[in-house]
Amino acid sequence: MALIGILGGMGPLATVDFMERLIALTCSAGASRDQQHLPLLVAHLPHIPDRSEALLGTGENPLPALLSGIDMLNRNEVELIVIPCNSAHHWYDAMRAKSRAPIIHIAEASVAALPPGVRRVAALATGGTFHSGLYQRILAARGFESVEPDAATQRHIDACIREVKAGEIEASTGHLAAALDWLVDQGAQAAVLGCTELPLAARPMKAPSIPMIDSTLELARATVSYGLSRGWNRAL
Amino acid sequence: MALIGILGGMGPLATVDFMERLIALTCSAGASRDQQHLPLLVAHLPHIPDRSEALLGTGENPLPALLSGIDMLNRNEVELIVIPCNSAHHWYDAMRAKSRAPIIHIAEASVAALPPGVRRVAALATGGTFHSGLYQRILAARGFESVEPDAATQRHIDACIREVKAGEIEASTGHLAAALDWLVDQGAQAAVLGCTELPLAARPMKAPSIPMIDSTLELARATVSYGLSRGWNRAL
């Protein structure tokens, strides 16, 4: 039996949302019984130090805790690792170097899903991820132009993420809408919700004015496609 | 760091629903940041043979796969195990005997949550769990009288569970309502949703005519209470 390892808990609701996407995509691919779903091992480790604070120089380095989670998953012989937290991917190379199992990169999967014809893209992420340039580098390498938030807009994005983490989804949606409005005014033709809390805030929104890429969903699509193509949903 | 082990994937959506309850209860207890949540290790193993079929004598024995999941969680040094699947608790004693970590019993937690003044209780569960007498024994030991489904009502319950496992929540709700109507006619004063798929079918229902105990929620309450009282949400 092949296990897919999820390094999760960053944050807790985002991991649950990611698992729900995995299951819905597997149902859409034809699964109707438990035994047709993908086996997972979820290291749900919410105590990992805040990624955004570390990237802004105001918090503890999460890398030792991230590597300890990667190590736990490898000790349990997972065949693939996915991490439904964009900010954690700042440390992707260090995690990949210590992992026997391959790790799907959430930001690469998300940028690859941008619709054709789009050139100017706003990646919404934690303040730390924005500061680290993670999305800006991947967008530039793929020929996209980044539309960057100003300080007030980034405050809306960070407030939105904080509220989702506190379970206050309703309050979070208004902050996301305000950030998107400003970015569209600056010429953004598409948005990447580059933090796995943001899709939870976006779901209650009606018809957004530009296409939005859901990084949780894109990581789930890549994971299900990887697992189903290898027949991992069939019990041995 | 203390880990709570979840033996899940039975079925997949029910495990996600259970994790969502754990997180919501932890938020209600005051958590607003990732680091204030409970660390979990989720062995999400949907390939475990169908528990209800085994109990009805028409399917493979799931005990070896259940024990292998319990063993994986213990190897990872979890301090507590919970299993958001009622039918799997037919094998509770065998799993408990092989586990270093204690295992909270979902049916005991659910029956303990019945409101005062109630005497006649309908436990809705898989055909296999009904046939095994799991809930009837626990209800009798606590002084309750069981109101049992007839064959047609059990078919509604099984159809409801099958539809939730296939992701067809809307269709499942009608079957649950039909089963509840018949059980209320037979004098049931309260119902235990003794299968973790059933609360997903029940959630869209408006004002049920009798109190319903949600076994997923009661297991989540017992788990959060166990973990928070020991301070497991604080990182070491």
Q: What kind and span of H or E run contains A4?
A: strand A4-8
Q: Which of residues 137-176 of B touch A (CB under 8 A)?
A: 162, 165-167
CA geometry: angle at A164 spanning A162 and A166, to 5°?
70
* Chain A to chain B Cβ contacts (< 8 Å): 131
How many helices (H) and strands (E) chain A has is answered by: 11, 7
> What is the pLDDT confidence band of residue B166, given thresholds at 50, 70 and 90?
confident
Residues B83, B100: Cα–Cα separation, whole Å: 15
Q: Which of residues 65-94 of A touch B (CB under 8 A)?
A: 72, 76
B235/A32 Cβ within 8 A: no
Entry pTM: 0.96
Dihedrals phi, psi of B229, to nearest 5 degrees: -65, -20
Of the candidates B13, B41, B50, the beta carbon closest to that of A23 is on B13
Residues B24, B82: Cα–Cα separation, whole Å: 17
Q: Judge contact between A179 and A157, C-beta under 8 A.
A: yes
Cα four-point dihedral sign B145, B151, B156, B162? positive
| Residue A59 contacts B, CB cutoff 8 Å | no
Selection from A84, A63, A64, A85 nearest residue A4 by Cα: A84
CATH no. for A108-215:
3.40.50.1860
From the candidate CATH numbers 3.40.1130.10, 1.50.10.10, 3.90.1170.50, 3.40.50.1860, the one assigned to the domain spanning B4-105+218-229 = 3.40.50.1860
Per-residue pLDDT, A235: 59
Per-residue pLDDT, B236: 44
Residues A171, A107: Cα–Cα separation, whole Å: 26
The helix/strand/coil state of B213 is: strand
pLDDT one digit per residue (tens) for chain A, 236 residues: 899 999 999 999 999 999 999 999 999 999 999 999 999 999 999 999 999 999 999 999 999 999 999 999 999 999 999 999 999 999 999 999 999 999 999 999 999 999 999 999 999 999 999 999 999 999 999 999 999 999 999 999 999 999 998 889 999 999 999 999 999 999 999 999 999 999 999 998 887 889 999 999 999 999 999 999 999 987 54
In chain A, ranges of CATH 3.40.50.1860 domains: 4-105+218-229, 108-215
Residues B139, A218: Cα–Cα separation, whole Å: 46
Selection from A121, A150, A142, A154 nearest residue A55 by Cα: A154
B40/A44 Cβ within 8 A: yes
Per-residue pLDDT, A207: 79
A95 to chain B, closest Cα gap in Å: 19
Of the candidates A31, A33, A72, the beta carbon closest to that of B76 is on A72
| Residue B62 contacts A, CB cutoff 8 Å | no
Q: Judge contact between B21 and B220, C-beta under 8 A.
A: yes
Higher pLDDT, B234 or A216: A216
User: ipTM more than 0.90?
Assistant: yes
> Which residue in this structure is represented by tokens 């989702």?
A164
Q: Which chain A residue has the Cα nearest residue B24?
A: A167
Per-residue pLDDT, B167: 86
Q: Percent of chain B at pLDDT above 90?
A: 92
